[in-house]
Amino acid sequence: MSMAWEVVIGLEVHVQLNTRSKIFCACSTAFGAEPNAHTCPVCLAMPGALPVLNEAAVDKAIAFGLAIGAELNHRSVFARKNYFYPDLPKGYQISQYEIPIVGRGHLDVLLPDGIEKRINITRAHLEEDAGKSLHEAYAGESGIDLNRAGTPLLEIVSEPDMRSAVEAVAYLKKLHALVRYLDISDGNMQEGSFRCDANVSLRRPSEPFGTRAEIKNLNSFRFLEKAISYEILRQQDILEAGGKVVQETRLFDANHGETRSMRSKEEANDYRYFPDPDLLPLQLEEKRIERVRVALPELPDARKARFIEQYGLPVYDAAVLTAARELADYYEIVATGQDAKLAANWVMGELLGALNKAGLEIDSCPVAAEELRQLLARIADQTISGKIAKEIFEILFAEGGSVDAIIEARGLRQITDSSAIVAMIDEIIQKNPQQAADYRAGKEKLFGFFVGQVMKASQGKANPDQVNALLRERLQAQ
Amino acid sequence: MVKRIAQLSRIALPDNELPQMARQLERIFSLVAEMQSVPTEGVEPMAHPLDLRQPLRPDELRQECLSREDLMASAPRAQDGLFLVPKVIE
Amino acid sequence: MELHQMGVAELSAGLRNKDFSAVELSSTLLQRLRQAQDSLNACITISEEPGLEQARAADQRRAQGDSAPLLGIPLAHKDIFCTRGQRTTCGSKMLAEFVSPYDATVVQRFQKAGMVTLGKLNMDEFAMGSSNETSFFGAVRNPWDLTRVPGGSSGGSAAALAARLLPAATGTDTGGSIRQPAAFCGVTGLKPTYGRVSRYGMIAFASSLDQGGPMARSAADCALLMDVMAGHDPLDSTSHPQAAGRFSAALGRSVKGLRIGVPEEFFGEGLDPEVAQAVQEAIQWYVREGAEIRPVHLPNNVHAVSTYYVLAPAEASSNLSRFDGIRYSHRSGSAVDLQDLYLLSRYEGFGPEVRRRILVGSYVLSAGYYDAYYRKAQQLRALIREDFRRAFAEVDVIMGPTTPTPAFALGAKSADPVAMYLADIYTIAVNLAGIPALSLPCGFSKAGLPIGLQIMGNYFADELILGLGDAYQRDSDWHQQEPGWEEQ
Ligand SMILES: [Mg+2]
Ligand SMILES: [Zn+2]
């Protein structure tokens, strides 16, 4: 296998904006209603019905533009993208073509190796979602549900700046975190609120871009990674066999972990874009932009800076903890009144490890942040040792419950009574005269043996600092 | 050309209608061809007679709802609240 | 004067004085509408029961002290306006079975004013035509000569008004579709300033050109209708915030000092001498009343037809994509797969002229042709608007003929689309610019066919041109002549 291929990846992400009503009519955007229950003459494309733009969709697009440091276009234009499809009732999608609302911006992404990389964003534009075709319901027929038709989307198009699947996933995760920070989308990938298409091509370094394939239907971070990895191998095989990559749309088949050509859609798509004459140019007044700017929440990068400043965290910790708004919120609860670095270690180590093992996201974490804070508080007040704390955490994660109740019920309170510890130490020295003699003769390494014996005898509950000090004292004394 | 445009427009023109359609389109395009002689360099294209900005509606749900039955009353084929079409192949 | 001969203003007075009831009035007109169907074919749907129901409601409102000026006055809508619970066909097989679940804003406004809807009027299919011959429901005939066209696309509206079947009707005008049939049938019609009448629920042909407007037998009646019809509509993004006006209150103005522009471009080759003479005489009436004539130039008017026949089909090709046989429109019985469903339903549902325009529109928007046709036409559109801007810096109104000839014979131009398109040479530029224009009767040809005078105004001069039309009609009786269609 040749190592000389460079992967070039650009992502187009469709984000459903979490407005109450649709982008061009007053129908609800709520997910999961009866088929076609959330429709009206406008989103059913009845004859004579006309679109009127939802201001919340505009404000959310502005918020996104401000968050990525983009140039906002003070005048943008809605265009029609004409094609026929049963879930597209008007026979055209209202989108933005020549002049989008959000121009060039960027996102700084922290890669797993700790390096930060800037991914440029070409544009973001407002458009309407299509409905859904249900293929399984009826023999030989498909059912059309237009509840989703007209849901506002922000389509975010990146530059082809990513060079690996890992970078693509890191960018997508950062984008996902950002739209949730901004509260412009629920980001629910299962329900299709956050969908990604990837443009993937290969080239020899410093040569011009190769022909790209567009992979659709990537509705999880894992699928994105798998699809890109598959696509890289596929294109590499073609190129190394002297073939040519065809510019086409491919569908990711999650069941087989491969991408497949979408032949049916390959017929020359001539979308005949033109400015929608039912809508006038969208003008952004400075007042509106200012209003959105003032209402912006603290964004990931600002929060990261604050974590470094306020909690004294290393850059890496701050970046990991602020990657998702929910995680950052969680951390701030845990760190309240506790050692901030210790809190960070616990959240990044124990908590994220356990979540990862269980395949869970932070928003479905079984351990409440308040409980983890309590756990740290019990370490701090010496009720338990760090080791016992880890045991308790495992119980919390698996079974729930409260920290104090678990300590009481299982008798896990730390032993800090010196006379009790001395009694245990003396008994162990008595039982191991040879080791005691060897230690005194200079075999320093045996100290660890004695510590282990004492901890074992106390079932891990003896205060380790006290054990250390008292053990040294008693071994010396005899 | 006519065939391609008819396909793009999703109109099934039978072969025996193609020549007449082609002739008529040719007539129309020779009528509009005179446009090309007008110098328009630097003229801002006019999309709309109104020099107004797009109005915005508040993000509110509509009060009165039309029933799904009324909205779907003219559907050629529908069942269980869905419009039915011949199987969509992806 | 019999009920069916009265205009809106007279009927309003009659109803107010309780000379007759709304039910009596509507019953009389419903009967005439039925009787005239065979000879004129002006209606696609006659709303007997719903109409009488509305008339009864109007009488009730009056009994309760309501004195809205148009309460109980009958009208019918061009079948391009959606009417809830009623068939709305747009003159097409595509919508032959379509029952609208909602009312157009215009329909709603007239209903709120207490007007009684007696039916849906025939029209060219999807308003594409100048002769009413493209209607799926058959051609409409001109009440002045049943062998001639009524004009189009609002041909049913014009014919019904001329034949005294109705005192008022709605029309729509994309390239002359109110004014040209008004001229051919000897009635009065206003194409308002773009944005003054809501387009919500008015089936779109070319969105940036379409404008609904009133048709009646006098400018004064049109003004009464505009009082109700015009107004801002939050459901239409292209509705003007200052759309409303006090149209009837602005009538009765003097003509003294008025500056009339008479463009030579409107009096050149192709203009029928009888039309030229009648129009010149009407303009002379204004001069006698104290107006002055100033020459103006509209040099780009020669490009109006070609500009229009790029832009209008382009918008139409996209606007008509929603007719796909899935949710409410005609579905072919022979479609087995999805592609056939589109291809056959749209072939069967659209008539030849509509298919032609969709193809033209798809072509001019397609990759590689957009700049040469669509963008170029938008630039010409800007030049045409600029002509009007320059002219209206010098004059208050522009006058000329509405059409080059009086009504032509049925079938005369239907074989050659381009010949038909050229008949719109004087009306199209107004839509491209978005300004208002009125057509009113100003004489007859020797063959006894009506001739129309067109008065164009600057943006929002709708009140002014209605007032000028009214001033002329107070001193002329062309608009009061009745065709003898019942004897033909
Ligand atoms: Mg898109
Ligand atoms: Zn809707």
Cα of A142 to nearest chain B Cα, Å: 5
Confidence bin at A398 (pLDDT 50/70/90): very high
pLDDT, tens digit (0-9, with 9 covering 90-100), for A31-51: 999 999 999 999 999 999 999
So what's the pLDDT on residue A440? Answer: 86
Instruction: Pick from A81, A144, A250 the residue to mutate for testing the B interface (most B CBs within 10 Å).
Output: A144
Q: Hey, what are A248's tokens?
A: 């086409």
List Cα–Cα distances, C41 to C37, C146, C185, in angstroms.
4, 11, 14
H-helix or E-strand containing C294? strand C292-296
So what's the pLDDT on residue A91? Answer: 98
Instruction: Calculate mean pLDDT across residues C237-241.
Output: 98
The distance in angstroms from the start CA to the end CA of chain C is 22
So what's the pLDDT on residue A478? Answer: 59
Q: How far, in Å, is the centroid of ligand 1 from the Cα of C399?
A: 48
Q: Hey, what are C85's tokens?
A: 């619970």
Domains of chain C and CATH, by start: 3-259+394-487 (3.90.1300.10)
C286, C468 contact by CB (below 8 A) = yes
CA distance C390 to C374: 25
| Owner of token pair 């719109």 | C424
Cα of C363 to nearest chain B Cα, Å: 6
Percentage of chain C lying above the pLDDT 70 cut: 100
Contact C383 B50 (CB under 8 A): no
Q: Provide the pairing of β-strand A92-96 with C397-401.
A: unpaired
CA distance A46 to C201: 9
C78 counts as catalytic: yes
Confidence bin at A179 (pLDDT 50/70/90): very high
Confidence bin at A381 (pLDDT 50/70/90): confident
List Cα–Cα distances, A175 to A11, A169, A170, A325, in angstroms.
11, 10, 9, 12
Q: Decide if pLDDT at C340 tops 50.
A: yes
Would you give the DSSP letter of residue C375? I
Check: complex ipTM more than 0.95:
yes
Q: Decide if pLDDT at A334 tops 80.
A: yes
Lowest mean pLDDT among A422-426, C228-232, C395-399: A422-426
Q: Decide if pLDDT at A477 tops 80.
A: no
So what's the pLDDT on residue C202? Answer: 98
| Owner of token pair 């009140």 | C463
Q: Decide if pLDDT at A366 tops 90.
A: yes
More confident residue, A3 or A142: A142
Contact A86 B71 (CB under 8 A): no
Confidence bin at C252 (pLDDT 50/70/90): confident
Confidence bin at A266 (pLDDT 50/70/90): very low
- How many Å is the Cα radius of gyration of chain A? 30
Q: State the count of interchain CB pairs (< 8 A) between A and B.
A: 120
How deeply is B67 buried, as exposed, middle or buried, from its count of CB atoms within 10 A (0-12, 13-18, 19+)?
A: exposed
More confident residue, B63 or B24: B24
Q: How far, in Å, is the centroid of ligand 1 from the Cα of A193?
A: 14
Catalytic residue (one of C78, C120, C191, C413): C78
Note the CATH architecture for domain A418-477: Orthogonal Bundle (1.10)
Instruction: Calculate mean pLDDT across residues C383-410.
Output: 98
Among C431, C448, C449, C427, CA closest to C439 = C427
Confidence bin at A140 (pLDDT 50/70/90): confident
So what's the pLDDT on residue A110? Answer: 86
Task: Note the ligand closest to the C-alpha atom of A149.
Answer: 2
Domain boundaries, chain A: 6-290, 298-409, 418-477
Task: Note the ligand closest to the C-alpha atom of A154.
Answer: 1
Task: Note the ligand closest to the C-alpha atom of A42.
Answer: 2
pLDDT, tens digit (0-9, with 9 covering 90-100), for C312-328: 999 999 999 999 999 99
Q: Which residues of A436-465 are buried (b: 16+ CB within 10 A; e: fewer)?
A: beebeeeeeebeeebbebbbebbebbbbbe
Q: State the count of interchain CB pairs (< 8 A) between B and C.
A: 164
Q: Give C-chain residues touching B55 at CB under 8 angstroms.
A: 234, 237, 241
So what's the pLDDT on residue A361? Answer: 86
So what's the pLDDT on residue A265? Answer: 47
CA distance A12 to B46: 31
Q: Could you give the maximum distance between any two Cα atoms of chain C, in Å?
A: 70
Catalytic residue (one of C26, C100, C153, C445): C153
CA distance A200 to C137: 55
C:100-139 residues touching chain A, CB 8 A cutoff: 100-102, 104
Confidence bin at A280 (pLDDT 50/70/90): very high
Q: Decide if pLDDT at A2 tops 60.
A: no
pLDDT, tens digit (0-9, with 9 covering 90-100), for C89-148: 999 999 999 999 999 999 999 999 999 999 999 999 999 999 999 999 999 999 999 999
Task: Note the ligand closest to the C-alpha atom of A147.
Answer: 2
Instruction: Calculate mean pLDDT across residues C405-410.
Output: 97
SS3 A137: strand
pLDDT, tens digit (0-9, with 9 covering 90-100), for C3-27: 999 999 999 999 999 999 999 999 9
So what's the pLDDT on residue A458? Answer: 85
Confidence bin at A268 (pLDDT 50/70/90): low
List Cα–Cα distances, C163 to A423, C57, C321, C327, in angstroms.
120, 27, 36, 37
Q: Hey, what are C140's tokens?
A: 């409409």
Catalytic residue (one of C177, C218, C345, C439): C177
Whether chain C has a CB inside 8 Å of the CB on B11: the answer is: yes
Cα of B58 to nearest chain C Cα, Å: 11
pLDDT, tens digit (0-9, with 9 covering 90-100), for A190-226: 999 999 999 999 999 889 999 999 999 898 999 999 9
CA distance A87 to C326: 10
So what's the pLDDT on residue B13? Answer: 96
Whether chain C has a CB inside 8 Å of the CB on B18: the answer is: no
Average pLDDT along chain A: 92
Lowest mean pLDDT among A343-357, A407-421, C384-398: A407-421
Would you give the DSSP letter of residue A351? I
pLDDT, tens digit (0-9, with 9 covering 90-100), for C149-167: 999 999 999 999 999 999 9
How deeply is C461 buried, as exposed, middle or buried, from its count of CB atoms within 10 A (0-12, 13-18, 19+)?
A: buried
Average pLDDT along chain C: 97
So what's the pLDDT on residue A267? Answer: 56
- Chains with 3 or more CB pairs closer than 8 angstroms to B? A, C
Chain B residue at shortest CA distance from C102: B66
H-helix or E-strand containing A369? helix A369-380
Q: Which residues pair with C409 in a beta bridge?
A: C148
What's the residue count for chain A? 478
CA distance C391 to C410: 37
Whether chain A has a CB inside 8 Å of the CB on C81: the answer is: yes
pLDDT, tens digit (0-9, with 9 covering 90-100), for C259-300: 999 999 999 989 999 999 999 999 999 999 999 999 999 999
Confidence bin at A3 (pLDDT 50/70/90): low
Cα of B32 to nearest chain A Cα, Å: 19
Q: Decide if pLDDT at A264 tops 70.
A: no
Chain B residue at shortest CA distance from A39: B68
pLDDT, tens digit (0-9, with 9 covering 90-100), for A287-331: 999 999 999 999 988 999 999 999 999 988 998 999 888 899 999
So what's the pLDDT on residue A388? Answer: 86
Chain A residue at shortest CA distance from B51: A280
Which residue intervals of A104-193 are DSSP H helices? Answer: 165-181
SS3 C371: helix
